[in-house]
Structure 1
């Protein structure tokens, strides 16, 4: 399959069109953590890439974005996180959208977006991009996160669309705009943005993305139908500090994304997931796996969320390692374990896990991940980032 996304050989004209879609030229602008979280939707062939070859292949791809509209959420007074995977901007990328909530109120929103770019020294690949995970990338390309590549991506936005705002500045303006609002509040604001996004800055100060509506809608969707990770009861919900970071907690065939909310020096809530290339016959891909984002990757592979594909991934764990817990059950056990703990307390606990991880359950009740130390370290790293 041939990829058309920021890939070697793409024309300047085509790339200019991509960037123009991302921003204006500044001229106006865990499902419940104890149950399966996936929502898989078969996509029609009409939504696929234009070539006959990719259309035939992508027609078999399903999307698992984590939607769980009937997930149980805690009552007001207990913070919780909801996470969803979305396609807020075209068909060449996908986004991780996380919201921290108290009742119906959005306390914080975090968004990062991932796409393939031509491999050069200007870009930093996602963790394990230089390992086995990267073997599935389209030839000559790497998968990058826009947040940690904001400078490189923003330089392209400036060159091709005359943007004076960085990617990070606009996405931060959008997520800051969501703070303190409900999903219904955001829907009211979304309706004020013109179809062409020309008046974006009049509604969301500081954002110049013409696709601001898409990002705001993704936040609404996460707040109303995302997977759920229940946090702690707190009287300081409005004072939480947060960070979303990437890491490689488990081998070299996947990368992880964790979001941590800190109440002072203690963890109030976390959300953990991993992404890996898998067989599309059994796994639903991230959004746009059926579009341009899914083109060019290794044949017979689709990039998938482990949490949104909990049943399928857990079946592999059982077949290949005789796992007695699902991936979600172990991840949730780790999330529950760190709640109310400081970084020092988590590091002390991680130090009690032997190098082979055989005694994990003795330290983290309910978890059977032999790489539990890696997941705990990723949470520690996020906690340290949040409290900088």
Structure 2
């Protein structure tokens, strides 16, 4: 049995829960060995003991791990493709980036390359040569500073199909001098995907739920028994009433903090720092929707500080399907005796624990302790003895661990012990942990958790269960689960599909050479009681819903098949094909044509005065909706006129094709088996609901030649530029201009040919010899 440090257990908890958001993937936790500390988790590096000050702890040292360099035979840059690019993307993912290892050097890969170059002393030109590849293969990696007994070595990190998250924590003073915040941030790459802020303040004992052990040894350090230390989230009603009485606040403290958290989610540290730099303290109150705190700037600054701590900490590897749906739970607990309390934060994916952060607060000797913020101000006036200050054990690893060694013979530092407990929980469900805790005694649990020697290991694991249960008992709230926030074409294509989201929000200009389809039925904000609705949001906005940036989506074609859809506040460059009713343009521009496939689609379409369409708004042939090929490019036209095509083919724009075309196959009028054979190329559309036979838009088809092999074919309206070869009978021209010759393969084909008085042929009409 491992040597243990004597501890005792008691419990009290509170909770706060926040959903986490991200890109377009679902995230799953990799399994973790039941006995060993997490196989997919790198313990948080130990931080050096700093001098007493109200600032975040210093970042850990780094050591170099040298690998055999892999030579690169070619220079890689924007537009490069192949296995060398895929290898580059895989290596960058191993350094914390989140790229699709598809072998295509696009804009996202370029951004990752430049970021890596800037952080590693390389020329920032976005071009990958031997110097960068050598650096990638022999990069400095953040590793824990060795303790007396090293923490378990992490398993090799696989990068293909994987992603990682990191958790950071800081104590900060965002709001005045009477309190301090404990802010926890979850990062995926450079993006903030989760935040939990709580604050501690001395408040009236009569109306406050005090932190654990306030009625015991911990509470003996309070200067006034009538004032106890409490969490603001655990005392929402009383603290919010105080805000209302003294400051006229109309929004409760938890709702204010939730709004600040939600604002940060989805942003990078650099983005937040930029926003904070551009906005004054007063302006930031207006920037964050739903928050009225005068110190909003300070709370966001605490998020930045915690995120920076996360970057220096160990990674937790997860199956990279998506980040959407993660939740944070939080509790105050007394896992270890009566002189301290723990603040435990848990990250869950479904029922599985995928991240944990435990810190403890205790009164310690002022001379050797980094005190929590504001200990030298009003907050510190509540200490009974100025020689004893409140401090975090993780911020005071060296001094507290020395105390453990002196008094209890401990051989493992406090942070390494807590890291091992955290690692043990990762990958497990609450039910599994509860099962273990219920069947193992306090003494046995010390042996169960590899790397931990704390006699109160049982208590720390119990705090994790308590924190996780705050998530499970709270309503499921996901700030962005109902939206797809995308920054690349592949993610956009996925998001607009039938398995996508009701709202798709772009973060930049997107260009694709693929035809896009918005399809599937979704309800407003994904609430079942709401009406059907779908939205493509080509913009960002501030808290007052003022558009702050507009983006352009470029594609050859976008088909709207979801009912009650809209494009809002941006530009679509290409042609729109509207199949569904009630499509809207709201403050949007279409740089192209809008084609309505049904009369209902056209009749129910609306656009506001801020919207515009540079091309035409055209109603396609009502006759052909169900059985026609409506085409806009040469490849689609060729397929449509083939023997595997449709009875009627309708180009919706001028087409120029450099191939000889062939119309073949037997089809019946309107695809009805009782009807006669018929094939039709309609170089026109109808746009007059009062006259269905009136062609309001006609088009030109240009090709070297077109051969008609399908019986009873018609070329109707518009213009064909090229020669026509007729091999079938009963070919006809209806109101069509041919700029070329017509050659007939047989006398019967020539004899059965007809053209009306509105048609013309510029060349000859003759029998082939």
When normalised by structure 2's length, the TM-score is: 0.42
CA distance in 1, matches of 2:422, 2:315: 9
CA contact (8 A) 1:83 1:228 kept: no
Higher relative contact order (CA 8 A, sep 6+): 1
Distance 1:174 1:274, change over 3 A: same
CA distance in 1, matches of 2:397, 2:420: 15
CA offset at residue 152 of structure 1?
A: 0.6
Per the alignment, residue 168 of structure 2 pairs with: 82
Determine which of 13, 38, 59 is the counterpart of 1:68.
59
Q: Does 1:351 align with 2:438?
A: yes
* Equivalent residue runs for 1:327-346 within 5 Å: 327-346=414-433
Per the alignment, residue 203 of structure 2 pairs with: 117
Distance 1:216 1:38, change over 3 A: farther
CA distance in 1, matches of 2:459, 2:166: 23
CA contact (8 A) 1:200 1:209 kept: no
* Equivalent residue runs for 1:208-247 within 5 Å: 208-226=292-310, 228=313, 230-235=315-320, 236-247=322-333
CA offset at residue 159 of structure 1?
A: 0.8
SS in 2 for 1:334: helix
Distance 1:67 1:352, change over 3 A: farther
CA offset at residue 184 of structure 1?
A: 1.1
Q: Does 1:293 align with 2:379?
A: yes
SS in 2 for 1:318: helix
CA offset at residue 387 of structure 1?
A: 2.6
* Equivalent residue runs for 1:90-129 within 5 Å: 90-120=176-206, 122-129=207-214
Per the alignment, residue 46 of structure 2 pairs with: 36
CA distance in 2, matches of 1:134, 1:320: 22
CA distance in 2, matches of 1:286, 1:71: 26
CA distance in 2, matches of 1:193, 1:92: 25
How large is the RMSD of aligned CA atoms in angstroms? 2.1
Distance 1:222 1:374, change over 3 A: same
Per the alignment, residue 337 of structure 2 pairs with: 251
CA distance in 2, matches of 1:375, 1:64: 26
CA contact (8 A) 1:170 1:209 kept: yes
SS in 1 for 2:169: strand
CA offset at residue 231 of structure 1?
A: 2.5
Determine which of 349, 370, 381 is the counterpart of 2:466.
381
CA distance in 2, matches of 1:182, 1:161: 32
Per the alignment, residue 3 of structure 1 pairs with: none
Distance 1:382 1:124, change over 3 A: same
CA distance in 1, matches of 2:468, 2:460: 12
Per the alignment, residue 134 of structure 1 pairs with: 219
CA offset at residue 351 of structure 1?
A: 3.2
CA offset at residue 201 of structure 1?
A: 4.5
CA distance in 1, matches of 2:183, 2:383: 23
CA contact (8 A) 1:64 1:287 kept: yes
CA contact (8 A) 2:49 2:397 kept: no
CA distance in 2, matches of 1:162, 1:331: 42
Unaligned runs of 5+ in 2: 1-41, 64-93, 98-162, 474-769
Distance 1:113 1:264, change over 3 A: same
Distance 1:192 1:116, change over 3 A: same
CA contact (8 A) 1:40 1:65 kept: no
Q: Which 4+ runs in 1 deviate beyond 4 A? A: 69-74
CA contact (8 A) 1:280 1:301 kept: yes
CA offset at residue 69 of structure 1?
A: 6.8
Unaligned runs of 5+ in 1: 1-31, 43-61
1:116-156 Cα deviation digits (max 9, x unpaired) = 12321x21111111111111012131001111111111101
CA offset at residue 103 of structure 1?
A: 0.8
CA contact (8 A) 2:276 2:284 kept: no
Per the alignment, residue 55 of structure 1 pairs with: none
CA offset at residue 360 of structure 1?
A: 3.4
Distance 1:219 1:37, change over 3 A: same
CA offset at residue 101 of structure 1?
A: 0.8
Of residues 227-236 and 98-107 in structure 1, the stretch that sits farther from structure 2 once superposed is 227-236
CA offset at residue 329 of structure 1?
A: 1.0
CA distance in 1, matches of 2:371, 2:270: 29
SS in 2 for 1:149: helix
CA contact (8 A) 2:352 2:427 kept: yes
